[in-house]
């Protein structure tokens, strides 16, 4: 595999900064993204997916903060640790949009209602690439064509409210890829869309990632989306990476009981009507202090050791790593 274009190394995120009241909400997360490939970050609400995605853009604001680790971005041969940059400073603003593009969940709130979509794409091009208004507008029309919007010359003059949800999400994708970023972060990009449009948008993202050589981080709670669109998967639970695997390894042999629970709660691909098996209970609150494995209360295999010691993410095969005491190779996590 080629050299990663983006790496989060041992990144921990805290809420609050006071020694006694601060709570950790992400623990030593490691993520590597490679050009032309998609890594999916999966888990229920409250598992730490979105906060991890925001930290990848250095977009956390008080009381959230990156308390440990580095976020390394390859910028044409030079590697920068963007966790060291001021989140609201000029350097970080230049990196967002230019080097890292982001697609948010709801295009209606992410787009500005008082500007045409053509202007919103052109603005990013003028700001980051210094293009004249005319050149930026022409490129905006090309981008709308690239993301599959019919009659792009006319659509560029439309305001967001004049477009359907699917069209608006295509505009968001056009803005995100406008400056040819090397990294694309898509946070639940199809949540607000009809099922029929979801598949088209995800296919478009995958095609663009491969065509433009972007590394994509896809945040989702939907394992069906993962199966169709990712090359590798990271499963998060209550701020911990509990499983990391290639897509085939994960679906052929889910190793962590939480991943197995997520799989069991999916409807069968055959469409057969069967009773689904939910995972009992809920993800523990971020304010709860947890000792040992955070999945203990919901796990059908929990044993004494689980509530005492936290297992570290440990390789169990070349394609798969897991943090669970059911596997003899697994060692205790460093505090
Ligand atoms: Fe279940 Fe224990 Fe494994 Fe946690 S460590 S997932 S509680 S068996």
CA of 127 to the centre of ligand 1 (A): 49
Query: Whole-angstrom Cα distance, residue 66 to residue 148?
Result: 38
Report the pocket of ligand 1 as residue ranges, CB < 6 Å: 256-257, 293, 295-296, 299, 301-302, 306, 311, 324-326
Distance of alpha carbon 269 from alpha carbon 4, whole angstroms = 33
Paired tokens of 40: 């999916």
- Ligand 1 centre from 256 Cα, in Å? 8
Q: Pick from 164, 114, 123: which is nearest to 143 by CA?
A: 123
Q: What is the pLDDT of residue 14?
A: 92
Residues of the chain with pLDDT under 50: none
For 256-299, what is each residue's pLDDT tens digit? 999 999 998 888 777 788 888 889 998 998 888 889 999 999 99
Model confidence pLDDT, tens digit, residues 106-149: 777 789 999 999 999 999 899 889 999 999 999 999 999 999 89
Q: pTM of this prediction?
A: 0.91
Distance 211 CA to ligand 1 centre (A): 40
pLDDT at site 330 = 95
- Quote the pLDDT of residue 29: 95
Q: Is the dihedral of CA 90, 95, 101, 102 positive or negative?
A: negative
- Which is nearest to 323 in space by CA: 309, 266, 335? 309
Give the model's pLDDT for residue 267.
80
Of 80, 84, 33, nearest to 214 (Cα)? 33
Give the closest residue (by CA) to ligand 1 atom 7.
296
Q: What is the pLDDT of residue 1?
A: 61
Residue 266 Cα to ligand 1 middle (Å): 21
What is d(CA 92, CA 57) in angstroms, rounded to the nearest whole number? 8
Please give the pLDDT value at position 286: 81
Written as six digits, the tokens of 164 are 């359907």
Provide the pLDDT for residue 318.
94
Nearest to 285 by CA among 245, 239, 216, 334: 239
Nearest CA residue ID for atom 3, ligand 1: 324
pLDDT at 194: 78
């Amino acid at each position: 595999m080629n050299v990663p274009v983006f790496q989060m190394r041992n990144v921990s995120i805290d809420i609050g900064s006071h020694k006694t009241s601060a709570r950790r909400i992400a623990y030593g997360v490691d993520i590597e993204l490679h050009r032309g490939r998609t890594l999916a970050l999966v888990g229920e609400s409250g598992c730490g997916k979105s906060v991890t995605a925001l930290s990848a853009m250095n977009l956390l604001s008080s009381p959230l903060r990156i308390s440990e680790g580095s976020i390394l971005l390859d910028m044409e041969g030079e590697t920068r640790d963007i966790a060291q940059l001021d989140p609201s400073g000029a350097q970080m603003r230049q990196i967002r949009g230019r080097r890292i593009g982001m697609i948010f969940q709801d295009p209606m709130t992410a787009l500005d209602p008082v500007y045409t979509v053509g202007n919103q794409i052109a603005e990013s091009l003028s700001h980051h690439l210094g293009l004249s208004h005319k050149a930026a507008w022409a490129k905006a029309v090309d981008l709308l064509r690239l993301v599959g919007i019919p009659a792009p010359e006319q659509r560029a003059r439309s305001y967001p409210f004049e477009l359907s949800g699917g069209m608006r999400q295509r505009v968001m994708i056009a803005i995100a890829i406008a400056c040819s970023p090397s990294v694309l972060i898509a946070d639940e990009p199809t949540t607000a869309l009809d099922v029929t449009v979801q598949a088209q948008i995800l296919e478009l993202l995958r095609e663009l990632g491969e065509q433009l050589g972007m590394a994509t981080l896809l945040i989702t709670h939907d394992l069906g989306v993962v199966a169709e669109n990712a090359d590798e998967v990271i499963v998060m639970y209550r701020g911990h990476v509990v499983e990391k695997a290639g897509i085939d390894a994960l679906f052929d042999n889910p190793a962590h009981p939480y991943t197995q629970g997520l799989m069991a709660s999916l409807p069968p691909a055959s469409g057969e009507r069967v009773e689904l098996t939910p995972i009992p209970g809920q993800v523990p609150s971020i304010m709860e202090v947890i000792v040992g494995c955070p999945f203990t209360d919901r796990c059908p295999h929990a044993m004494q050791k689980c509530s005492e010691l936290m297992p570290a993410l440990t390789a169990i095969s070349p394609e798969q790593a897991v943090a669970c005491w059911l596997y003899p190779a697994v060692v205790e996590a460093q505090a």
